[in-house]
Amino acid sequence: MTGIIRPSRPRQPERPVRQENLRSLNLELVFRNILAAGHPVSRTELATITGLTRPTITRIAEELLAGQLITETGLTHNGRAGRPRVGLTLSEKGPAGLGLDIRADALAACVVDLTGTVRHLAFTPSTYAGRGAPDVLTRLAHMAHAAMEAMTADGLTVVTATLAVPGPVHAGIVQSAPELGWRNVDAGALLRSAMDHLDLAITVDNQANLAALGELYASDNTLDSFVYVSGGLGIGAGIVLDGQLMRGARGWSGELGHVTVYPDGKPCPCGSRGCLQTYASLPAILSDEPAPAGSTPDAAITGRAEAGSPTTIAALDTAGTTLGIALADMLNILDIDTVLLGGSFSLLASWLTANARAEIDQRVLSAAWAPITIRPALLGPDAAVIGAALTSIDQIRQHPTDWLARQPSRSRHAAPASPA
Amino acid sequence: MTGIIRPSRPRQPERPVRQENLRSLNLELVFRNILAAGHPVSRTELATITGLTRPTITRIAEELLAGQLITETGLTHNGRAGRPRVGLTLSEKGPAGLGLDIRADALAACVVDLTGTVRHLAFTPSTYAGRGAPDVLTRLAHMAHAAMEAMTADGLTVVTATLAVPGPVHAGIVQSAPELGWRNVDAGALLRSAMDHLDLAITVDNQANLAALGELYASDNTLDSFVYVSGGLGIGAGIVLDGQLMRGARGWSGELGHVTVYPDGKPCPCGSRGCLQTYASLPAILSDEPAPAGSTPDAAITGRAEAGSPTTIAALDTAGTTLGIALADMLNILDIDTVLLGGSFSLLASWLTANARAEIDQRVLSAAWAPITIRPALLGPDAAVIGAALTSIDQIRQHPTDWLARQPSRSRHAAPASPA
């Protein structure tokens, strides 16, 4: 991204790095280098990488160890000459991040530790649509409490939670989640109240955005820019550009379900006509035959398609074609060359991809000289809840000093708290 | 934008701020604060704003004055108590930025100084379509030389140039500019060779992107996120989000002209069907009646519309409606609430806006709770060449130390170069 510095643009006066910040900046620098390494690193290596002195590294490592942000491994050898050294690596105890997700068919909770490993994943299958926000959020609060208790037994402390909702969110308020029947819901406040105002930082964010972050993380270096499409009762998208989520000016980007496919087409509940959602959402593909009781919409659709139902196969063809037309618009606008089909679309991908690809190849200008990839998402329907948990733990990763400030002092300069 | 720190993501090891960088970091800090102030600031004020010592400010001010990056004003008073002080402000001599633009009807050159003031603006009206890149770029090289000579007389030195082209650019190569008949043209190398390899850094960029940067600058604090639509022989868009140009993964974002409006609609030269360009470009609006010799397409269209031509009025109605449908897709995807109609669309805005607005209000999901603004661009057809010149000077603003390193040493520690 590029801007222009404008002389008269009001901005915060910039300030230089000062001595009093240097300590915490250096601590965060060392921590990020341990994080980035992806394998245990010795204090000597850290001194070389960061350019900080060995005594500074030793002091910082002591603080990080005391705060359970890192742990010591046995002797490791970096493959070059020299004697093996004690490695430092991310702790599997200490801080943990909680993710919560409201799906059409289930509530989900997930906890990840600092290393990004999923330590807890739980579901309460049910249909919550129309049940009302306080009811849904009270049930989620119970799941959150259960997750936090289970984690305490493992030596993990959940300090931040991120809640995924299927709709645009602004300043913590869910603007509109038609699948749930919500409008202008302060989901964070309701959840906080249902959790007895426990000391837990709660953030509310869009489901497709969080799922995109989950996929970014899971892709492990192979993806930098992609569009994540979340298919379900509605259709949303999360946009990742250069490793960063593109939220838009107010956090409402990626409304792929309301991209116009046929200007004079089917009416959409949003008030427009011919929106992608009216052709490619699960209800549209199910046409007038809802899933039988006990079956999910995905299972009903794939069952019918495999049995050769002409109605279902035609509906899937239309869904693929219209998805391709809408995605082509998105790719022409964003210049991104990879599409991940997520949510229910990850399960229906084999029925959708060929038609979608045909439209994309014809309609994306750059496809003529640079091919477009379209494939199922890696994490399937769990991407959003895992992405939410990762977003929570990332707050500690970005600002380890905030976590350390919460800890009872354990540095060598303070007497350890004696047991009563 | 938000990302997640991934442990195993390879990245440059981070390094702390070190003594040897501190000098230039502090110089850039002081310079950016003078730039940001928008009015003369005294050395004392700079010391307060930056937290640097008064002797450090004095030394840096001396370097910036010697390099003609700033200049001293007379005594100024900051409105509070205390005696009036000498103010420091951006220099109107010293470095300058050159912008060049290839339009359908003209070649354009522009020079701006450090303050962002346009000091030179020149056009060579002509149709260059199909003339071949070397011919066009040789003529632009003559215009660039003339601009640079004129500026030398004013005490300005042009050190960077930015060339605007109507098409996607990647790594300096113009991928495709159908209006000019170009494909895979290394425009920077051709221009450099036509300028006898003068010591001038040349960058090539997309016209709509540069025009968007020009509008960002011209808006003077009032715009942070907007879509700039460039209407002409083709249709492109520049996307500004949070004050930054969004170029996409490879620099090809904003291909609004190839957003599908009617999937089974008119064939487009790009190989697709129903692209916006086939309904709303100038040739589409002119239908089968080209502009008479000596008249521009815009003038021909407005003349006919004002005379009540039913064909032209119907074509403008279609252009407005289809533009609105395609823009609604763009706004649903990006979450941006302001559209600037630029290029020829700035002149046709009164004929296009009502229909475009009707479609946007119906089709953009967030329009129901947050209104969308659509209005003509401020700089009209000159936005791209001015934006190109501003982009050039911005390289000096971002890195004043690079400019200072080019200067013959004039600090108090070095003897001044004596005239021969």
**Cβ of A16 and B369 within 8 Å?**
no
Residue A155 region by backbone torsions, left for phi larger than 0, else alpha for psi between -120 and 50, else beta: left
Identity of the amino acid at B18: R
A220-377 has which fold?
Nucleotidyltransferase; domain 5 (3.30.420)
Residue whose pair of structure tokens reads 């003209």 in the numeric block: B106
More confident call, B218 vs A304: A304
SS3 A173: strand
Continuous H helices in A195-343: 207-218, 277-280, 282-286, 297-306, 310-334
A155 phi and psi, to 5 degrees? 80, 20
A62 phi and psi, to 5 degrees? -65, -45
For position B398, what pLDDT does the model report? Answer: 87
Nearest Cβ partner for B336 among A241, A248, A261: A248
Edge-to-edge order in the sheet of strand A106-113 = A118-125, A106-113, A94-102, A156-165, A201-206
Token digits for A314? 């035609």
CB atoms within 10 A of CB B417: 9
Choose the mutation target among A363, A369, A394 for the interface with B, i.e. most B CBs under 10 Å.
A363
Nearest Cβ partner for A4 among B18, B256, B391: B391
pLDDT at residue B40 is higher than 70: yes
Mean pLDDT for chain A overall? 88
Q: Please state, in angstroms and rounded to a whole number, the distance separating the CA atoms of residues A35 and B13.
A: 11
User: Which parts of A344-392 are beta strand (E)?
Assistant: 373-376
**To 10 degrees, what angle do helices B297-306 and B344-363 make?**
70
Angle at B147 between CA B144 and CA B149, to 5 degrees: 110
Q: How close B87 gets to chain A, by Cα (Å)?
A: 15
State in Å, rounded, how far the first CA of chain B is from the last one.
56
- Range of weakest confidence among A377-381, A386-390, A410-414: A410-414
Chain B residue nearest residue A362, CA to CA: B272
**Cβ of B249 and A262 within 8 Å?**
no
Q: How close A293 gets to chain B, by Cα (Å)?
A: 32
**pLDDT tens readout for residues B377-418:** 999 889 999 999 999 999 999 889 989 988 775 444 444 444
Q: Is B197 exposed, middle or buried (0-12, 13-18, 19+ CB in 10 A)?
A: exposed
Q: Please state, in angstroms and rounded to a whole number, the distance separating the CA atoms of residues B240 and B228.
A: 8
Q: Residue B122 in contact with residue B143, Cβ under 8 Å?
A: yes
| Nearest residue to A3 via CA among B200, B212, B248, B162 | B212
**pLDDT tens readout for residues B90-149:** 999 999 999 999 986 789 999 999 999 999 999 987 666 567 899 999 999 999 999 999
Residues of A in contact with B390 (CB under 8 A): 4
- Residue A180 binned pLDDT confidence (cut-offs 50, 70, 90): confident
- Residue A315 binned pLDDT confidence (cut-offs 50, 70, 90): very high
Q: Is B265 exposed, middle or buried (0-12, 13-18, 19+ CB in 10 A)?
A: middle
Identity of the amino acid at B162: T
A101 phi and psi, to 5 degrees? -140, 140
SS3 B43: helix
Chain B residue nearest residue A5, CA to CA: B394
Residues of A in contact with B250 (CB under 8 A): 335, 337, 366, 370
Q: Please state, in angstroms and rounded to a whole number, the distance separating the CA atoms of residues B254 and B237.
A: 5
For position A411, what pLDDT does the model report? Answer: 46
Q: Please state, in angstroms and rounded to a whole number, the distance separating the CA atoms of residues B205 and A191.
A: 48
Nearest Cβ partner for A263 among B116, B261, B271: B261
Question: How long is chain A?
Answer: 420
Q: Residue A94 in contact with residue A117, Cβ under 8 Å?
A: no
- Range of weakest confidence among A99-103, B82-86, B410-414: B410-414
**Cβ of A16 and B221 within 8 Å?**
no
Q: Residue B40 in contact with residue A67, Cβ under 8 Å?
A: no
DSSP tag of A250? S
Q: Report strand pairing: A169-170 vs A173-177.
A: antiparallel
B22-91 has which fold?
Arc Repressor Mutant, subunit A (1.10.10)
For position A11, what pLDDT does the model report? Answer: 44
pLDDT at residue B10 is higher than 70: no
Q: What percent of chain B has pLDDT over 90?
A: 64
For position A416, what pLDDT does the model report? Answer: 41
Identity of the amino acid at B417: A
Q: Please state, in angstroms and rounded to a whole number, the distance separating the CA atoms of residues A319 and A304.
A: 15
Domain with CATH 1.10.10.10 in chain A: 22-91
Residues of B in contact with A9 (CB under 8 A): 36, 38, 220-221, 243
Q: Please state, in angstroms and rounded to a whole number, the distance separating the CA atoms of residues A110 and A130.
A: 24
Q: Residue A247 in contact with residue A169, Cβ under 8 Å?
A: no
For position A47, what pLDDT does the model report? Answer: 92
CA quadruple B144, B149, B155, B158: dihedral sign: positive
Token digits for B133? 């890149």
- Residue A419 binned pLDDT confidence (cut-offs 50, 70, 90): very low
* Mean of pLDDT values over A379-393: 94
Q: Please state, in angstroms and rounded to a whole number, the distance separating the CA atoms of residues B40 and B379.
A: 27
Residue B287 region by backbone torsions, left for phi larger than 0, else alpha for psi between -120 and 50, else beta: left
**Cβ of B249 and A337 within 8 Å?**
yes
pLDDT at residue B89 is higher than 60: yes
Q: Say which residues have a Cβ less than 8 Å from residue B102's Cβ, sequence separation at least 6.
A: B128, B136, B140, B163, B164, B165, B166, B180, B207
- Residue B420 binned pLDDT confidence (cut-offs 50, 70, 90): very low
Residues of B in contact with A35 (CB under 8 A): 5, 7
Q: Please state, in angstroms and rounded to a whole number, the distance separating the CA atoms of residues B364 and A271.
A: 10
**pLDDT tens readout for residues A235-261:** 999 999 999 999 998 889 999 999 999
pLDDT at residue A383 is higher than 90: yes
Residues of B in contact with A245 (CB under 8 A): 1-3
More confident call, A220 vs B283: B283
Q: Please state, in angstroms and rounded to a whole number, the distance separating the CA atoms of residues A261 and A363.
A: 13
Nearest Cβ partner for B35 among A5, A221, A250: A5
**pLDDT tens readout for residues A9-34:** 444 445 565 666 788 889 999 999 99
Chain B residue nearest residue A178, CA to CA: B365
Residue whose pair of structure tokens reads 């809840």 in the numeric block: A385
Mean pLDDT for chain B overall? 88
Q: Residue A273 in contact with residue A263, Cβ under 8 Å?
A: yes
* Mean of pLDDT values over A95-120: 92
More confident call, B219 vs B120: B120
Q: Please state, in angstroms and rounded to a whole number, the distance separating the CA atoms of residues A43 and A236.
A: 45
Q: Say which residues have a Cβ less than 8 Å from residue B226's Cβ, sequence separation at least 6.
A: B212, B215, B216, B240, B336, B338, B339, B340
pTM attached to this predicted model: 0.85
**pLDDT tens readout for residues A267-285:** 998 899 999 999 999 999 9
Q: What percent of chain A has pLDDT over 70?
A: 89
**To 10 degrees, what angle do helices A19-37 and A54-66 make?**
70
Distances B105 to A50, B70, B252, B344 between C-alpha atoms, Å: 55, 38, 24, 11
**pLDDT tens readout for residues A282-298:** 999 998 788 887 788 88
Q: Residue B98 in contact with residue B160, Cβ under 8 Å?
A: yes
Token digits for B328? 């609604």
DSSP assignment of B336-386 equals --EEEEEEHHHHHHHHHHHHHHHHHHHH-GGGGTSPPEEEE-SSGGGHHHH
Q: Please state, in angstroms and rounded to a whole number, the distance separating the CA atoms of residues B334 and A248.
A: 5
Q: Please state, in angstroms and rounded to a whole number, the distance separating the CA atoms of residues B22 and B56.
A: 12
Q: Residue B242 in contact with residue A249, Cβ under 8 Å?
A: yes
**Cβ of B394 and A337 within 8 Å?**
no
Residues of B in contact with A258 (CB under 8 A): 332, 363-365
* Mean of pLDDT values over B193-202: 86
Maximum separation of any 2 CA atoms in chain A, in Å: 75
For position A194, what pLDDT does the model report? Answer: 92
CATH of domain B94-211+382-404: 3.30.420.40
Choose the mutation target among B39, B260, B338, B379 for the interface with A, i.e. most A CBs under 10 Å.
B260
Domain with CATH 3.30.420.40 in chain A: 94-211+382-404, 220-377
Q: Say which residues have a Cβ less than 8 Å from residue B236's Cβ, sequence separation at least 6.
A: B166, B206, B207, B208, B229, B230, B254, B255, B256, B257
pLDDT at residue A350 is higher than 80: yes
Q: Please state, in angstroms and rounded to a whole number, the distance separating the CA atoms of residues B209 and B140.
A: 20
**Cβ of A250 and B4 within 8 Å?**
no
For position A284, what pLDDT does the model report? Answer: 95
